[in-house]
Amino acid sequence: MDFQARLLKVGNDLRKDEVRALVFLCSDILGCNPAAVQSAGDLFSRLSDQDHLSEEQPHLLVELLGIIQRTKLLRDHNLPRTGAQDLISPYRKLLYSLSEELTADDLKDIKFLLNNKLPRGKLEEVTTLEVFMELEHRALISDTDLGFLESIIQPVCPVLLEKINQFNAQNSMNHGLVAQETGRPIAETDPQQSTEVRSFNLPPSQCCSVQHACCVSHFNQMPSFNRCVSAGRCVGHLSPRKPDLLRSGDVRDRQRRCSKYENPNPEVLVLSAVGCPDVSVQGVETYLMTAAKRGRCLIINNCNFRVSRLKKREGTMVDEASLDKVLKWLGFEVEIQRDCTSKKMSSLIQELAKTSQRDWDCVMCCVLSHGLEGGVYGVDGGTVEIRKLMEPFSGTNCPSLAGKPKIFFIQACQGSRQQDIVYTDAGTPGHGYVDNNAVQAKECIPSHADFLLGMATVPSFVSFRDGTHGTWYIQSLCQNLADMVPRGCDLISILTKVNADVSKKVAWIDSGHKTQMPQPAFTLTKKIVFPAPNTPHPVL
């Protein structure tokens, strides 16, 4: 009997509630609304299409049936009974375990407690797992924040708090380290030695004055990158020199003291990294932002690289959640695709370009993955050139978006040299990696107008990912969008502020402190100013 026939028999032997449980457990892997999966066969087909389930790799099915305690089906249908045990996240396992412990009366009590949090229609005829999914959808619970879940479990079934406490303790132990996603090599480290990694802001004794740093923009030699726009401060490739380290302290105090910078080099335009430029400077136009929705944002979030030899990207779900909150608040229709192969990444981009609408104000794509020189990895270990991700949106290929901004943010490192202890988006197997072949953003951006590419790192700078709090770059980007859009700031000024903020962060790695510098590049012809939403910005 072939593998598909055995899967069919397994699916037929599962109860409806068991199928719903499997779909819930796989929700992070599927990257779609669990409600869209109607049957066991549908689930298995989706997992097979995404290369998560095959005769050669039945490990996910083995683990799933083990979690719901139906391993007898493996024996009944001649399937392997051993396999990897860490394909489903501990967070999903925790929520499933809690749902199994809660009785029908407990569920009624939980629904009563949620009356002021969820619409009554969302609480009718739903299971415990569906309640948990709705809480996730509304960002009331996550794998890094179970406080609200504890508050509703405690009065209903306090004995279950021990399960949550154990998860929190394990999660803190596993993900507390700062992780590094790198640019060029820093220091060579003995792989046998442990490396201490600490994240901190610099003490007040460090000088606030900056000459070559976080907020300078070189005019490079590319023809499409050599003109100045005063209101946006610069149209060009932001390629900063290594920053003098900035002092920490109160944000307002930094803003007051750091709003002006020395500019000893007449060939370097110094940008104000704090505060907002005058958005009404004469002669500088702004892209129209008048649609009911800004447009669509595709988030490709590659976390689990099980089918390749690349490491899991701990902390990336935090970045995904922050982007989702902020971009929806800004009016984007957000589509999230998780754990994509290189082929699927390309097809998703092509599909986004083909389905783009003329009434969109813009389009955005965020890629969170491992990277290498000039490209990003799919979870299968295949690569996609960054330029290839952007080219489908040129005026020729995508006329519906001609004259409108096409915005790309890439959270990925660009190299493969080894460094101990830290996680890295270099992706090469080992303890951690640094880049020795980083590519400049200007080499990735197409020559067509109206593109903006924001990359997490520049050559010679490391990029850090924290397993608990996400990456420095994406978290700073989201926070500054939330803070500065209501003040009427244009996107280039916001990215300059991101450069300033990230450059102030320091990780202590064995031989000394290491910094990071993001790198925007663009061929914009106008300013991008997102309309200020009517609602308060989300809490990140």
Between the alpha carbon of residue 330 and those of residues 64, 95, 149, the distances in Å are: 38, 31, 28
* Selected catalytic residue, list 297, 365, 413, 489: 413
Query: What is the C-alpha separation between 195 and 420, in angstroms, rounded?
Result: 6
Query: What SS3 state is found at 41?
Result: helix
Query: What SS3 state is found at 270?
Result: strand
538 with 325: CB under 8 angstroms?
Answer: yes
Query: What SS3 state is found at 231?
Result: coil
Q: How many CA atoms lie within 13 A of 11 on its CB side?
A: 15
370-394 residues labelled b (16+ CB within 10 A) or e (exposed)? bbbbbbbbbbbeebbbbebbbbbbb
Q: Is 413 a catalytic residue?
A: yes
Q: Is 370 a catalytic residue?
A: yes
Within its chain, how far is the Cα of 427 from the centroid? 16
Query: What SS3 state is found at 200?
Result: strand
In the sheet that 383-385 helps form, which strands lie side by side, from edge to edge?
371-372, 375-377, 383-385
Q: How many CA atoms lie within 13 A of 78 on its CB side?
A: 6
343 with 382: CB under 8 angstroms?
Answer: yes
Query: What is the C-alpha separation between 438 and 373, in angstroms, rounded?
Result: 5
Where are any strands of DSSP class E within 288-339?
295-301, 332-338
* Selected catalytic residue, list 175, 212, 370, 448: 370
Residue indicated by tokens 């050669």: 56
DSSP-derived secondary structure for 232-286: TS--SB--PPPPPPPP-S-HHHHHHHHS------TTEEE---SS---TT-TT--B
- Would you name the residues annotated as active-site residues? 370, 413
